[in-house]
Amino acid sequence: MAPTSVFEMQRLTVKELWDNNIRKPSEIIKMTGFPKSTVYDIINRLKKTGSVEHLPVPGHPLVLTPKKCQYFGRLLKNDNATTSALMTTKLNNLPWSVPLLKESHVEARLQWALNHIQDDWTHTIFLDESTFQTFRNTG
């Protein structure tokens, strides 16, 4: 993969020289012309981790997903005079995508139905988790 920045090119160059047994920082500085602190930092990272790749930085996870960022951009493009409160409301009211049932769930439902096919359903009440109060004035 080609380097995408000057810093990445510097890291890869120093690593290549390091892999070719050129281990003295002064020699690497003379050969490349890179700043002394850069070469020393890269060599220290090579000694510590064996790699020149950046380590993941801990921190707060991103608030907006890429999909929400696109939606946010569309909102601003269509109505650049909108308020932040209205945009927050619209972003918080985005619909959730619900996955379909997995094959194992379908099989479990079918097995339950087959196990209870002979039950007497006339004495069973089906509820949708609503609260009911009998003989009570809720006024």
Residue 59, token pair as written in the block: 């921190």
pTM of the model: 0.42
Residue 1 has pLDDT above 80, yes or no: no
Q: Report if residue 113 sits inside a domain.
A: no
Q: Report if residue 77 sits inside a domain.
A: yes
Q: Report if residue 109 sits inside a domain.
A: no
Q: Report if residue 36 sits inside a domain.
A: yes
The string of DSSP letters for the chain reads: ----SHHHHHHHHHHHHHHTT---HHHHHHHH---HHHHHHHHHHHHHHS--SPPPPP-PPPSS-HHHHHHHHHHHHH-TT--HHHHHHHHHTPPPP-PPPPHHHHHHHHHHHHHTTTS-GGG-----S----TT----
* Closest CA relative to residue 28, chosen from 44, 39, 19, 41: 39
What are 24-40's pLDDT values in tens digits?
999 999 999 999 999 99
Q: Report if residue 120 sits inside a domain.
A: no
Q: How many residues does the chain have?
A: 139
Residue 37, token pair as written in the block: 């602190």
Residue 92 has pLDDT above 90, yes or no: no
- Residues 17, 41, single domain; the answer is yes
Please tell me the total count of domains within the chain: 2
Residue 16 has pLDDT above 60, yes or no: yes
Tracing tokens 């439902």 back to the chain, one arrives at: 109
What are 54-67's pLDDT values in tens digits?
877 788 888 888 88
* Closest CA relative to residue 17, chosen from 63, 52, 53: 52
Q: Report if residue 21 sits inside a domain.
A: yes
Query: Which residue segment(s) compose the domain that 79 sits in?
Result: 60-94
* Closest CA relative to residue 24, chosen from 8, 9, 40: 40
The per-residue b/e assignment along 58-69, b for 16 or more CB within 10 angstroms, e otherwise, is eeeeeeeeeeee
Residue 132 has pLDDT above 70, yes or no: no
Q: Report if residue 72 sits inside a domain.
A: yes
Q: Report if residue 130 sits inside a domain.
A: no
